[in-house]
Chain A
């Protein structure tokens, strides 16, 4: 078979870091080729070079056997490349068809022909089994459908080589399976798929070949059928990894967090959390599963004090904190790893040390009558950096110089070092690499074993499944099921998350 895409000796050096070190990779036409690697392995750099965002220091790229050197993404698109980004780039208020044809609008007598646009997009969607109504407005669509719109955008521009960057991060298991069907169909139609991920299950499920990157080098090129997840993980991390961990069950103690009949009203007076009651006891991890947008974020904001609670009550260790501010809740014993680590969990212009200090700044020992003991503050930062293995420069370098995984460790370290009895962990491992995931999971389990209470919200079902003592499923603002992780598998969880069981009950 012919090669659709070939990288030869691609090298890219940033000050102090060799991001790509003579990477070779061959992608056969019509194949589904997975690229895996931990964060910082060089995946993003390689794709950026391919799309002309910056030039390689050495090496060459061949598309369909011809040497190319793109200087902009536009040139790459003209050459038949299409990229589906992790974060969607769509106009929310426009229709699917308008989004897809943007800048390539079909015209009639110099005017945009919208009917033709709708027709073409509809035909394209049908051909590849992408169930999308071209007339629907983007902002009304669920995430899984938005991704199909992104794929349509690439196909509409006749992308022969489609690059999907971590496409399943935001999908439910059902949506994920549908995406895989689409990918297979595209591959059958002769298109080449480059599938970037760090989830090994997906590599096994959908790819023909897999290239593993580590520390900027391509360390393995494997035929998927001839390998297994453990081998891939070993190549990714450079060591043996145990992939099948389950936190052993644990005796739960008394209630730490008690939420009673909580209702949250969002904008436009819509109820986003409806009458939720739950509790988290000492020594247990309660996992909240749900598709994004079913009230989990609002629920957590209400519990952490970032949002007003119009109805219901929240108790922490028996103290009513329903109307307390963030500070009072933190003092009462709550620590919080927020979902948005860039916008909320850290301040990227502040230093590593200052980021590690937040929430501790009024602690005895750190300050005396409002004046810092600067030695103690520095000790605190150094201790956390060491204990949590945060790879950073000097403690007074801006936190923005840290990689995603290390940034998350900063948040985790800071929040766990409060010694608060309740830890709320929202998407604690989103977008971080396997080593960091393992580490954070270990920390959560240790915390639980020491009698801490954890409220875990995650879109990652495997995470919920592996860590939780109990699983609560949120759908449409309500808790629709409480499940024992030992008794449900991920498929069943996904079933509850879509609200399907309720429809089944209703007949």
Chain B
């Protein structure tokens, strides 16, 4: 009855202690150790491979690429985590990203005016489109009792089909062999911060988003209410929190972030919407993994997002220089998540046997203590 809680809480000092003893760190060590073994067993030089991966991620153009790729990874992680933390299982990040991305692109291509106006409008429209798209499964759940887990996932395919149709038959640029829209005019492209060889200003946007979300979680009534709903829905409902309405809001916010990130991917990166490109990138799913690893904590999402981005970029360098397939980076990502997941199962089991706590709520205490 009286043993220490698994997530010893309290002041800043122990919060840092918490991070160090976090299952995430353990998972990373586990993943890298196993990855090391894999390379070693297959006859490679693991230390060399890891050094090349690290160098590739942070030196030269590697740093710029890592930062650039971190923008959508962190962004999509924020989008899903906003929902996850509230107990809403949003698997529709991909759909929200492509719908928002295409909507933003259309604005950027066809809206006249200076960039200072067009870019923000495109972002807002992209966000709105993503939000509306995300509200579909939310309303389905609150009105028709269709589980978001299923509908948000399936709507990804619908989103692909609709955007595919629009690109192919309504917005196609005939001058190139790609299935793609026209290029976004130079004025409507996201400008670059002149550091590390130029990183899109969207990076600032994402960092601001991280901070805003962090503050909202910790200090606002909505942050409290969403967290209570995420920890124990029956408790929240009993306390007068309008969980149904909240689900719709939360999904709208998640979708808006997804839509903005989708828009950034075109305005700040690809400059034209190529059908299937956003889906192929797997960014929405990498984001989901990052959210899991960071346990929905916005600051940790920033850290974990940079890490995964570095893994992906460094993995390519490793393949070039150490002759180890870049797929190792993917293996490492997967191992981290497997480790996180099994650690959660482990604590769940331990809790259940030690204290008779009802199973089912495995998410440890974390963000948003008022």
Contacts and interface: CB of A to CB of B under 8 A. Distances in A.
A372 B370 contact: yes
Contact of B235 (A330, A358, A400, A403): A358
Contacts of A306: 237-238
Q: Is the interface of A mostly helix, strand, loop or mixed?
A: mixed
Contact of A361 (B5, B10, B225, B235): B225
A359 B357 contact: no
B369 A400 contact: no
Contacts of B369: 351, 353-354, 396
A347 to B, nearest CB: 4
Interface residues of B, number: 36
A268 to B, nearest CB: 18
B365 A371 contact: no
A80 B3 CA distance: 31
Interface string A328-353: 01110000101000111111111101
B187 to A, nearest CB: 37
B9 interface: yes
Interface residues of A, number: 48
Contact of A344 (B1, B9, B238): B238
Nearest to B222: A370
Interface string B322-357: 000000000000000000000000000000000101
Contacts of A17: 1-2
A425 to B, nearest CB: 14
Nearest to A54: B354
B235 A346 contact: yes
A19 B231 CA distance: 30
A403 B358 CA distance: 15
B364 A347 contact: no
A362 B221 contact: yes
Contacts of A342: 358
Interface string A294-335: 000000000010100000000000000000011101110000
B220 interface: yes
B2 A14 contact: yes
A377 interface: yes
B4 interface: yes
A357 B224 contact: yes
A397 interface: yes
A371 B228 contact: no
Given A327-B242, A342-B358, A350-B231, A19 B365 contact: no
Contacts of B61: none
Interface string B257-272: 0000000000000000
A398 B7 contact: yes
Contacts of A327: 240-242
Contacts of A40: 1
A374 B1 contact: no
Contact of B9 (A325, A330, A348, A398): A398
Contacts of A401: 2, 5
B37 interface: no
B219 A326 contact: no
Contacts of A357: 224, 370
B238 A338 contact: yes
B238 A345 contact: yes
Contacts of B235: 343-347, 358
A357 B147 CA distance: 29
A421 B101 CA distance: 53
B370 A398 contact: no
Contacts of A354: 224, 227-228, 369-370
Given A330-B240, A343-B358, A400-B355, A14 B3 contact: yes
Contact of A349 (B10, B236, B365): B365
Nearest to A346: B235
B234 interface: yes
Contacts of A19: 1-2
B239 interface: yes
Contacts of A15: 2-4
B358 A326 contact: no
Query: Max chain A CB contacts within 10 Å: which of B2, B231, B239?
Result: B239
A367 interface: yes
A352 to B, nearest CB: 10
Contacts of A16: 2
A398 B8 CA distance: 8
Interface in A1-48: 14-17, 19, 40, 44-45
Contact of B10 (A330, A331, A394, A400): A394
A306 B237 CA distance: 8
B1 A349 contact: no
A19 to B, nearest CB: 7
A358 B239 contact: yes
Query: Max chain B CB contacts within 10 Å: which of A338, A346, A358?
Result: A358
B363 interface: yes
A349 B363 contact: yes
A351 B242 CA distance: 21
A59 B352 CA distance: 27
A397 B5 contact: yes
A348 B221 contact: no
A426 to B, nearest CB: 11
Contacts of B10: 394, 396-397
Interface string B181-222: 000000000000000000000000000000000000001111
A394 B228 contact: no
A336 to B, nearest CB: 7
A403 B1 contact: yes
Contacts of B5: 397-398, 400-401
Contacts of A351: 9, 365, 369
Query: Max chain B CB contacts within 10 Å: which of A17, A330, A362, A398?
Result: A398
Interface string A184-227: 00000000000000000000000000000000000000000000
A395 to B, nearest CB: 9
A365 to B, nearest CB: 13
Contact of B220 (A349, A353, A372): A372
Contacts of B221: 361-362, 367, 370-372
Nearest to B364: A349
Interface string A386-418: 000000001011101101000000000000000
Contacts of A348: 232, 357, 361
Contacts of B240: 325-327, 329-331, 359
Nearest to B353: A53
A374 B224 CA distance: 12
13 contacts: A14-B2, A14-B3, A15-B3, A19-B1, A45-B1, A327-B241, A345-B238, A350-B228, A350-B231, A358-B235, A358-B236, A361-B224, A397-B9
Given A325-B240, A343-B232, A354-B224, 7 more contacts: A326-B238, A346-B232, A349-B363, A359-B239, A359-B240, A372-B224, A397-B10
Shortest 6 CB-CB contacts between residues of A and residues of B: A358-B239, A17-B2, A327-B240, A347-B232, A14-B2, A347-B235
